[in-house]
């Protein structure tokens, strides 16, 4: 009897792609992070408000290139945002210092926007860093000579006890910005600076001039804004008026000007003070 043998043809599987082993090897090859990829990922996380992840990636990008402006421009406000949510005073202070330094780095690279100077002044105030506050308040006023910048500069000079320049800047601001919502503050700071250099009579005249200007501005608000009492402008004028009256109270108490003192106390009482 013959045995019949069935021959099964060999099947060859052809593939144009890499083998499984080859694909495994390729996928295991690490991707090299560049400052650009780190920034792009960090920027995306920042927009999504994933602050911790964004901070880690942006910090790595800046470590790779300390002059990388795009990453610095995200990192500076990010560090500020982290500080604002931080409950620990010590950690918050550290984050604010980091943010200050990053903003300063940006400014040194030629980024001279007013918002950067404003934020630097804000952070310096929070850190009680009067010298940094003055430094950038001056630069802000030089490049953006507007009423708010002058306001910051008057406060900065006063904080470092440079009363001569505080007087000079306040007088310039009063002349340049008579319609500014900061006009009451200019008079208030000017009077206080005069007191610091023992010019009490000039201070008194300045305070009363300021009160007159503030009262006129409040009267204008009443005419043009039915809800004036809830406006930010009125709140500022009211605060400045109270501040001026308190300074006048101190002056009149010192010089025992009883009639003037009684009048000032009456006005303070009307304002709830």
Q: What is the pLDDT along the chain (273 residues), one digit of tens a residue?
A: 444 434 444 433 334 455 444 454 444 445 678 999 999 999 999 999 999 999 999 999 999 999 999 999 999 999 999 999 999 999 999 999 999 999 999 999 999 999 999 999 999 999 999 999 999 999 999 999 999 999 999 999 999 999 999 999 999 999 999 999 999 999 999 999 999 999 999 999 999 999 999 999 999 999 999 999 999 999 999 999 999 999 999 999 999 999 999 999 999 999 998
Residue 271 lies in a domain: yes
83 and 51 in a single domain? The answer is yes
178 and 72 in a single domain? The answer is no
Q: What is the mean pLDDT of the chain?
A: 91
Residue 211 lies in a domain: yes
Residue 1 lies in a domain: no
126 and 151 in a single domain? The answer is no
206 and 124 in a single domain? The answer is no
Residue 138 lies in a domain: no
**CATH classification of the domain holding 66:** 1.25.40.10
157 and 265 in a single domain? The answer is yes
115 and 235 in a single domain? The answer is no
What pLDDT score was predicted for residue 10? Answer: 41
What pLDDT score was predicted for residue 267? Answer: 96
CA–CA dist 261, 273 (Å, integer): 14
What pLDDT score was predicted for residue 30? Answer: 54
End of a domain among 96, 130, 164?
130
123 and 149 in a single domain? The answer is no
The pTM is what? 0.81
194 and 241 in a single domain? The answer is yes
152 and 81 in a single domain? The answer is no
What pLDDT score was predicted for residue 9? Answer: 44
SS (HEC) of the chain: CCCCCCCCCCCCCCCCCCCHHHHHHHHCCCCCCCHHHHHHHHHHHHHCCCHHHHHHHHHHHHHHCCCCHHHHHHHHHHHHHHHHHCCCHHHHHHHHHHHHHHHHHHHHCCCCCHHHHHHHHHHHHHCCCHHHHHHHHHHHHHHCCCHHHHHHHHHHHHHCCCHHHHHHHHHHHHHHCCCCCCHHHHHHHHHHHHHHCCCHHHHHHHHHHHHHHHHHHHHHHHHHCCCHHHCHHHHHHHHHHHHHHHHHHHHHHHCCCHHHHHHHHHHHHHCCC
Residue 192: domain span = 145-273
157 and 239 in a single domain? The answer is yes
Residue 241 lies in a domain: yes
149 and 126 in a single domain? The answer is no
End of a domain among 80, 100, 130?
130
What pLDDT score was predicted for residue 32? Answer: 76
CA–CA dist 9, 25 (Å, integer): 33
What pLDDT score was predicted for residue 60? Answer: 97
Q: What would the pLDDT profile of 6-53 be if each residue is shown by its tens digit? A: 444 443 333 445 544 445 444 444 567 899 999 999 999 999 999 999
Residue 8 lies in a domain: no
């Amino acid at each position: 009897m013959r045995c019949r043998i069935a021959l099964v043809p060999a099947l060859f599987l052809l593939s144009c792609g890499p083998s499984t082993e080859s694909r495994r090897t390729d996928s295991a090859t690490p991707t090299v992070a560049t400052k650009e990829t780190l920034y792009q990922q960090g920027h995306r996380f920042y927009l999504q408000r994933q602050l911790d992840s964004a901070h880690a990636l942006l910090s790595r990008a800046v470590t790779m290139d300390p002059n990388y402006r795009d990453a610095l421009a995200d990192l500076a406000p990010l560090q500020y945002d982290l500080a604002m949510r931080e409950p620990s005073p010590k950690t918050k202070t550290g984050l604010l210092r980091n943010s200050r330094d990053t903003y300063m780095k940006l400014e040194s690279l030629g980024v001279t926007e007013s918002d950067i100077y404003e934020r630097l002044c804000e952070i310096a105030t929070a850190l009680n860093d009067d010298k940094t506050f003055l430094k950038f308040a001056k630069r802000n006023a030089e490049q953006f000579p507007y009423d708010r910048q002058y306001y910051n500069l008057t406060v900065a000079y006063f904080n470092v006890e440079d009363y001569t320049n505080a007087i000079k800047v306040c007088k310039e601001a009063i002349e340049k910005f008579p319609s500014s919502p900061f006009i009451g503050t200019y008079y208030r700071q000017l009077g206080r600076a005069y007191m610091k250099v023992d010019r009490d009579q000039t201070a008194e005249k300045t305070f009363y001039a300021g009160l007159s200007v503030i009262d006129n501005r409040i009267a204008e608000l009443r005419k043009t804004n039915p809800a004036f009492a809830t406006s930010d402008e009125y709140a500022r004028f009211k605060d400045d008026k109270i501040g001026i009256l308190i300074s006048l109270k101190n002056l009149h108490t010192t010089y025992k000007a009883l009639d003037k003192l009684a009048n000032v106390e009456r006005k303070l009482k009307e304002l709830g003070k």
